[in-house]
Structure 1
Amino acid sequence: MIGRLLGTVADKQAPDLLIDINGVGYEVQLPLTSFYELPDVGQTATVYTHFVVREDAQLLYGFISKQERALFRLLIKANGVGPKLALTILSGLTAEQFVQCVEHDDITTLVKLPGVGKKTAERLLIEMRDRIKELNMTPSSERAIGGMTTRPLIQANGMDDAISALVSLGYTPQQAQKAVKSVYSEGDDSEVVIRNALKSML
């Protein structure tokens, strides 16, 4: 089991991270809430990981805090929720926001996430009600990256990068384009665009 990676950010394109550790590059997928907090390419980062082995692939999912990883692991135990959907849920909602949804039976917010229909949302609220008690929802005391400020995801084309990131999370190209165009302003980097687009759809 690979539980943590400490290395140099070699490349990043939401939601994918390539982290170099002694010359070996590990490909890791992160929820956007964690991806936002990665440092620039060339800087050192630590991510807590969950390793998934399938017949056709070996996948690493990464998180900025142990708390976010713990919630991911609880989500994939829920009936009908796989790693991809769990990643999408944690990209649209922070761990704290998801817990609030469960505590307040907020099905309306959950069904706005791609891949989460009414039945899935209802099942999540029921199954996660007891499980979230396992989480210690204290302020981010286990942040894996310290001494850094939030930086732009990609500087090149904020609109195209944002659309690509949203599509990779399960939104249709039409949904992604509509949301991005509704919030995009000239010069915005992709982090700002993605954040605002996600907010506009919730």
Structure 2
Amino acid sequence: MIGRLRGIILEKQPPLVLLETQGVGYEIHMPMTCFYALPNIGQEAIIYIHFVVREDAQLLFGFTHKQERALFRELIKVNGVGPKLALAILSGMSASQFVSAVEHQEINALVKLPGVGKKTAERLVVEMKDRFKGMSGDMFAVGATDFALSAPSAADTDISPENEAVEALVSLGYKPQEASRLVNKVARPDADSETLIREALRAAL
């Protein structure tokens, strides 16, 4: 079981990061709220890992804090919520924002997340609220993930920031038309892809 990786960031293609550890490059899926906090390409990063083994694939999901990984693991225990949907939920909301939405039963905020319908939102509120009981009140108060953005790095790529942002949103569960609409809504000439993704996710809520 892989629980933590420390290495050099080789590529950042939201929501994927390629991390080199002792000569091996690991592709890691990260929620955007964690992706924003990554250092630039060529710098060292420590990422907490949840390892998923399926018949057709072995997937790594990464987080900047143990608390976010703990929340991800609780999310995928909810009926109807798999790793991809959990990743989308934690991309649209930070861990602390999600906990707040559940505790205040903010169904309308949850259904704005990709792949979350009313029934799923209601199930999240009921099941996750019970799981939060007994946990430390500040367990998921990870302020650093509330859309904190490190200095963006300019990756060598021919794809435009707008198209890269649309592709990232689609990979998180948004329909292509909706992803394009959200990106076009926040697009501006000086924005890089990470900024567009962050602002598009905000606009969706």
Match of 2:51?
51
Q: Secondary structure at the match of 2:177?
A: helix
Instruction: Name the amino acid aligned to 1:112.
Output: K
* Percentage of identical aligned residues: 57
Match of 1:165?
168
Q: Secondary structure at the match of 2:190?
A: coil
Instruction: Confirm or deny: 8 A CA contact 2:96 2:142 kept in the other structure.
Output: no
Q: Distance in 1 between matches of 2:60 and 2:20?
A: 14
Match of 2:28?
28
Match of 2:121?
121
Cα displacement (A) at 1:184: 0.7
Q: Does 1:184 align with 2:184?
A: no
Q: Secondary structure at the match of 1:42?
A: coil
Instruction: Name the amino acid aligned to 2:85.
Output: L
Q: Distance in 1 between matches of 2:86 and 2:140?
A: 18
Q: Secondary structure at the match of 2:90?
A: helix
Normalising by the residue count of structure 1, what TM-score does the alignment of the two structures yield?
0.92
Instruction: Confirm or deny: 8 A CA contact 1:162 1:194 kept in the other structure.
Output: yes
- Residues 95 and 138 from structure 1, CA distance in 2 versus in 1: closer, same or farther, beyond 3 angstroms? closer
Instruction: Confirm or deny: 8 A CA contact 1:154 1:191 kept in the other structure.
Output: no
Q: Distance in 1 between matches of 2:142 and 2:175?
A: 34
Instruction: Name the amino acid aligned to 1:123.
Output: R
Query: CA offsets per residue over residues 21-76 of structure 1, 9 Å max, x none?
Result: 11111111000000011111111000000001111111110000001000000000
Match of 1:6?
6
Instruction: Name the amino acid aligned to 2:199.
Output: N
Instruction: Name the amino acid aligned to 1:69.
Output: R
Q: Distance in 2 between matches of 1:197 and 1:60?
A: 25
Instruction: Name the amino acid aligned to 1:176.
Output: A
Q: Distance in 2 between matches of 1:158 and 1:187?
A: 10
Cα displacement (A) at 1:138: 4.0
Instruction: Confirm or deny: 8 A CA contact 2:17 2:28 kept in the other structure.
Output: yes
Segments of structure 2 that go 5 or more residues without pairing to the other structure are none
Match of 2:92?
92
Q: Secondary structure at the match of 1:187?
A: coil
Q: Distance in 2 between matches of 1:115 and 1:153?
A: 30
Instruction: Confirm or deny: 8 A CA contact 1:78 1:127 kept in the other structure.
Output: yes
- Residues 113 and 21 from structure 1, CA distance in 2 versus in 1: closer, same or farther, beyond 3 angstroms? same
The number of residues matched between the two structures is 197
Q: Distance in 2 between matches of 1:105 and 1:167?
A: 27
Segments of structure 1 that go 5 or more residues without pairing to the other structure are 144-148
Match of 2:65?
65
Instruction: Confirm or deny: 8 A CA contact 1:153 1:190 kept in the other structure.
Output: no
Instruction: Confirm or deny: 8 A CA contact 1:10 1:41 kept in the other structure.
Output: yes
Q: Secondary structure at the match of 2:184?
A: helix
- Counterparts of residues 95-174 of structure 1 (less than 5 Å): 95-133=95-133, 134=135, 136-139=139-142, 150-152=150-152, 154=154, 157-174=160-177
